[in-house]
Copies of this chain bind each other. A is one copy, B any other.
Amino acid sequence: MYRIGIDLGGTNIKAGIVGEGQNILREKFVPTLAHRPAEEVIIDMAKLVLSILEEESLGIRDVAGIGIGCPGMIDAKSGEVPYSNNLCWENVPLAPLLKKSLRAECPIKISNDANCAALGEAKAGAAKGVSNVVLFTLGTGVGGGVIVDGRIFEGAHAGGAELGHTTLIMGGEECTCGRKGCVEAYASATALIRDARRAAGKEPGSLMNALCGGDLDRMNGKIPFDAMEQGDKTAKALVERYFDYLAESVANFVNLFRPDVVLLSGGICNQGRNLTDPLNERLGRLCFGGKKAFVPEIRCATLGNLAGIIGAANLV
Residues of B within 8 A of A167 (CB): 167-169, 248-249, 252
With A83-B289, A258-B155 as known contacts, state yes or no: A168 contacts B165, CB within 8 Å: no
User: Which residues of chain B have C-beta atoms less than 8 A from A256's C-beta?
Assistant: 155, 160-163, 166, 256
Interface SS majority for chain A: loop
B294 touches A158 (CB 8 A): yes
Check A73/B259 contact, CB under 8 A, given A162-B288, A167-B168.
Answer: no
Is A287 an interface residue when CB atoms closer than 8 A count as contact?
yes
- Residues in B with CB closer than 8 Å to A162 are 255-256, 288
Within 8 A of B (CB), among A128-169: 131-132, 148-149, 153-163, 165-169
Total identical chains: 2
Within 8 A of B (CB), among A26-51: none
- Measured CB to CB, the closest approach of chain B to A142, in angstroms, equals 12
Cβ contacts A60-101/B at 8 Å (1 or 0 each): 000000000000010000000011000000100000000000
- CB of A260 closer than 8 Å to a CB of B: yes
Question: Does any Cβ of B come within 8 Å of A293's Cβ?
Answer: yes
Interface size of A by CB at 8 A reads 53
Residues in B whose Cβ lies below 8 Å from that of A82: 289, 292-293
CB-nearest residue of chain B relative to A290? Answer: B178
25 contacts between A and B (CB under 8 A): A73-B292, A73-B293, A82-B293, A83-B293, A132-B155, A148-B153, A155-B256, A155-B258, A156-B260, A157-B296, A158-B289, A159-B254, A159-B288, A159-B289, A160-B257, A162-B256, A163-B256, A166-B256, A167-B168, A167-B248, A169-B170, A170-B244, A170-B245, A177-B288, A256-B256
